[in-house]
Amino acid sequence: MILYNVTVKVDFEIHDEWIKWMKEVHIPEVLATGYFVENKVYRLMEEISNDGITYAIQYTCKNMSDYLTYQEKHAPALQKDHYDRYKDKFVAFRTLLKEA
């Protein structure tokens, strides 16, 4: 299994609208691509700074081929939608983990 983790720090001022949009629109769109078998959303419990709220959005796929196909065919448009909507109100980084 491959775990695609997107860590996002969201400004306080947009947080409520952002998490609603993520759960109702963005995450369902990612899952609708058919490349992921599971999704979880975690909120960081101890914030290091006071300028936002941090989440880890995790998507599990069966293999590297599924992940790479998702990245090639779907990720650019979905990431652009997120950026266009929230611009400078978030910071995100992505990591890829393999089950040991």
Q: Which of 28, 27, 98 is nearest to 64 (CA)?
A: 98
pLDDT along the chain (100 residues), means of 10: 96 96 98 98 84 95 96 97 96 93
Q: Which of 84, 88, 97, 27 is nearest to 55 (CA)?
A: 27
pTM listed for this prediction: 0.92
The confidence score (pLDDT) of residue 36 equals 98
The confidence score (pLDDT) of residue 24 equals 98
CA-only gyration radius of the chain, Å:
14
The confidence score (pLDDT) of residue 46 equals 81
- Token readout for 84 is 């266009």
Domains of the chain: 2-98 (3.30.70.100)
